[in-house]
Amino acid sequence: MDGLIIPGGESTVMGKLLADMGMADTVRHMIVGGLPVFGTCAGMILLAEKIDNGPGRSRSTFPATVKRNAFGRQLGSFSAVSAFGDQGDIPMESIRAPIITEVGKGVRVLSEIDGKIVAARYNCQLVTAFHPELTSDDTVHRCFIGMF
């Protein structure tokens, strides 16, 4: 396996399934060992070292604190345009989006919406609160592929 994408969805269920299927420790060791990983929305929650609200099973590989549903529930979903690193503005589709409330040493913030961190990178890990797969812009995916 060259890389791993942990998609959006229900982070609590995804974490439970990883644990129940005996995959949680294996996945964590692979990521810590250098496997490039891209966590989108729920994937970002699963990778975070800390979750500051609600239930969730963290893989504890990304040195950050994440707040679930930071923009509200389903009705708080929205579209935005904001800078992604030094790549310029890109479209961002957010569905019950989390945010990063605190970053650890070595984390590079890539994007913010209204002063809230929605994308970051740490070593071979990339996380976004938004869903780049829902747009035709491939900037985020090219960034991830560039990590190989």
Answer yes or no: is pLDDT of 125 > 90.
yes
Residue 133: per-residue pLDDT = 96
Residues annotated catalytic, as ranges: 41, 131, 133
Q: What is the mean pLDDT of residues 1-26?
A: 92
Q: Residue 83 is part of a domain; what is its CATH number?
A: 3.40.50.880
Q: H/E/C letters for each residue in the chain?
A: CCCEEECCCCHHHHHHHHHHCCCHHHHHHHHHCCCCEEEECHHHHHHEEEECCCCCCCCCCEEEEEECCCCCCHHHCEEEEEECCCCCEEEEEECCCCEEEEECCCCEEEEEECCEEEEEEECCEEEECCCHHHCCCCHHHHHHHCCC
pLDDT band at 58 (very low <50, low <70, confident <90, very high): low
Is the pTM higher than 0.85?
yes
Which structure tokens are listed for 34?
């250098």
Q: 70-112, pLDDT tens digit by residue?
A: 888 777 789 999 999 999 999 999 998 999 999 999 999 999 9
Boundaries of domain holding 14:
4-145
Q: What is the total count of domains within the chain? A: 1
